[in-house]
Amino acid sequence: MQKKLKKLFKLSCCFAFLLTACGTHEKPTFEYMPNMMDQPSVKAQEKMMRSPVAGTIPLGFEPYPYLLSEGDLAGKMLKNPLPRTRKTMERGKKMFNTYCAVCHGPRGLGDGSIVPKFPRPPMLSSEKVRAWADGQIYHTITMGQNLMPSYASQVEPEDRWAIVHYVRAIQRANHPTKEDVEKLKKKLEEMKR
């Protein structure tokens, strides 16, 4: 009985192997090393990608002049070109919730959904981050810092500046100044009238 089972098993294995080895032009068989079949070689009569001329900039590329370690310099040199409007704040909030809230949390308290698995990110309303210039926050979004990756490829420069405005709004909400409190009191008094 066991000999028959072994023979049947061997036959079924051979049959399965033969089925996988068969293929048609429409359905090619499994390629063990596909890079051997599809090589990026160029034939003699074909053109290939040529090296760009020295000093040229690709279309749509915006060069960023600061290195990863130059956050302080970027903070001094870069100024937020966007006005603080409702539209800018809404855009900043949308981008923040899409890219930043996962780690920093919706209110910037460092309590995002990914925090239990990774080290806690800094609170955006901490004294250290509040002391940063707008350009330094922009630089951090662009270049990354510590465990935070660069978001330059995901977030457009204009949206990064909108995020900076929204981060400032979060900071003001968590640590209002005396002027903010007085303005709020005046608005509340006007609403009561």
Q: What is the pLDDT of residue 32?
A: 63
Structure tokens, 115: 């925090």
Tens-place pLDDT, residues 79-111: 989 999 999 999 999 999 999 989 888 888 888
Tens-place pLDDT, residues 27-68: 666 666 666 666 667 777 777 777 888 888 888 777 788 888
Say what percent of the chain tops pLDDT 90: 19
171, 107 in Cβ contact below 8 A? no
Q: What is the largest CA-CA distance in the chain?
A: 98
User: What structural domains does the chain harbor?
Assistant: 71-192 (1.10.760.10)
Tens-place pLDDT, residues 123-139: 888 888 888 899 999 99
Give the DSSP per-residue string, 81-119.
Answer: -S---HHHHHHHHHHIIIIIHHHH-TTSSS--TTGGGSP
Buried b (16+ CB within 10 A) or exposed e, 146-163: eeeeebeeebeeebbbbb
99, 152 in Cβ contact below 8 A? no
The torsion defined by the Cα of 131, 129, 84 and 135, in degrees rounded to 10, comes to 80
148, 96 in Cβ contact below 8 A? no
